[in-house]
Amino acid sequence: MKCLKCGAYVYSSDKFCRSCGTTLNEDTCQYGDNIANSKYDSSSCHVKQYDYSTAYSNTKKDSDTKYTSSYEYDDKYTIDQSKFDYAMPTDSGGDDKYVKAYIGQNYQSIKKMKFSFPSLIFGPWYLLYRKVWGYAIGIFIISIAAAILLSSDIADIINTFINVFLAFKFQSIYMKQAEENVEQIKQQNLDKTTNELLDICRKKGGTSSKAPAIIILIAVILIPIIAMYVYTNDSVDVENENNTEIVEEVDEENNEFTYTLPQGFIKAYGSGFYNRFEYQVNNSIKCNLTIDKTTLIRNYPDEKTYLEKKMNIVANTTNKPIPVMSLNLNGKDWKYMNLETPQRSETMYAYKTDKEIYVIKTYDYKINNQSNTICKTKYNEFLNSVKIN
């Protein structure tokens, strides 16, 4: 049970709160044969309360020795002090050793840290390693949503911002969590000795090398499955799609880039210049086509660099580089990279102008490890329509 005044944990047999001294049973402060007709004896109550608090606060606090004597208040009430040592929650002055046990060998460096380079480099993965589960899961959800709903460049900016934010705020986030978890451990283990509490803190805290590995394994298994459902819409009528009018899209900013959308494709999402189109082959197969552009920057000075960075991120599990090849589209030299896995076929095309890189990406999922010939035909029809003035 808890004290109604300060919230500290107490035993049901206690007469006073060990933390603040509040009376837990009003009968303690009353006298007379008939309690209903008795009067409140504040002086008697306060004497007992003071004796209790004094006895408890003066308990010997030695990490290797438990206090084994008993303290008697009167003939009817005796407290066995052997149940208590300085590991009780009222021992606020000893929290540092528990927090240190919770954090582990890097306690001093983390305590003084102002900027976390591991957080900057690894982002939410470092939070998983440090068992900061809530923040890590929240950031992963934001990153996945950004990747699905926004253009690749905007998603990259969001992820970079998150990592920079974590680098500056990791110390305060982690120390606060460590202190809160330590206090919770103490409150839930009132009967434990100091050494027992320290062992619990070490087990609950520290690092976890297994957590990031498990998350990666789950992602490798689930992402293809989730993607299939995200890009599958059973309500689409294939016959109606095949009767869709041909649409011509134009870059409204400078009228440089035009293309003709093949019959059957519908817009799934669009924001600014970024567009994603889909063509439903049947209930389980869908052809996907995205169009985007990015400004020439230091990280992407040309289309070759852009393709290598973007596609190699996707192909990290293949352990082999993807070659950049050339393709002539209506008199323009486009660069492209193709990634083939047993489950997926993905190709990214890029063309550089004076200020920008235009990007086309096609991808679909294989059936029984076989490429979808219908999708490839649709992609080729689209590519042959692309023009840059």
Block residue for tokens 């939410």: 124
Do 58 and 113 lie in a common domain? no
Do 204 and 246 lie in a common domain? no
Task: Find, among 293, 304, 362, the residue nearest to 333 by Cα.
Answer: 304
pLDDT score at 228: 58
pLDDT score at 226: 58
Whole-number Å distance between alpha carbons of 6 and 39:
26
Query: Please, what is the average pLDDT of the chain?
Result: 75
Whole-number Å distance between alpha carbons of 242 and 237:
9
- Domain span at residue 309 reads 238-388
pTM: 0.40
Strand 274-280 vs strand 286-295: parallel, antiparallel, or unpaired?
antiparallel
Exposure of 189 by Cβ count < 10 A (0-12 exposed, 13-18 middle, 19+ buried)?
A: middle
- Is residue 8 predicted with pLDDT exceeding 80? no
Do 293 and 250 lie in a common domain? yes
Please name the residue ranges forming H helices in 189-276: 194-204, 210-230, 238-242
Mean pLDDT of 252-277: 81
Percent of the chain with pLDDT over 70: 69
Do 302 and 362 lie in a common domain? yes
Instruction: Give residue 223's pLDDT band: very low, low, confident or very high (50, 70, 90).
Output: low
pLDDT score at 300: 85
Do 52 and 81 lie in a common domain? yes
Task: Find, among 256, 266, 284, the residue nearest to 366 by Cα.
Answer: 284
Mean pLDDT of 133-141: 88
Helix (H) or strand (E) holding 294: strand 286-295
Do 262 and 162 lie in a common domain? no
pLDDT score at 316: 61
Q: Write down which residue in 213, 230, 247 finishes a domain.
A: 230
Do 151 and 253 lie in a common domain? no
Q: 206 with 104: CB under 8 angstroms? A: yes
Do 14 and 124 lie in a common domain? no
Do 253 and 224 lie in a common domain? no
pLDDT score at 148: 76
pLDDT score at 220: 66
Mean pLDDT of 162-172: 93
Q: Which of 111-125, 174-188, 215-229 has the weakest average pLDDT?
A: 215-229
Do 243 and 344 lie in a common domain? yes
106-116 confidence digits (pLDDT tens): 898 998 889 99
56-80 confidence digits (pLDDT tens): 444 444 444 444 444 444 444 444 4
Do 225 and 243 lie in a common domain? no
Instruction: Give residue 362's pLDDT band: very low, low, confident or very high (50, 70, 90).
Output: very high
DSSP three-state, residue 65: strand
13-40 confidence digits (pLDDT tens): 777 777 777 777 655 454 444 444 444 4
Give me the number of domains the chain comprises: 3
- Is residue 127 predicted with pLDDT exceeding 80? yes
Whole-number Å distance between alpha carbons of 282 and 315:
27
Q: 105 with 130: CB under 8 angstroms? A: no
Do 188 and 220 lie in a common domain? yes
- Residue 159 token pair: 């992820």
Q: Write down which residue in 56, 85, 114 finishes a domain.
A: 85
CATH number at residue 358: 2.60.120.1690
Whole-number Å distance between alpha carbons of 154 and 177:
31
Q: Write down which residue in 52, 85, 118 finishes a domain.
A: 85
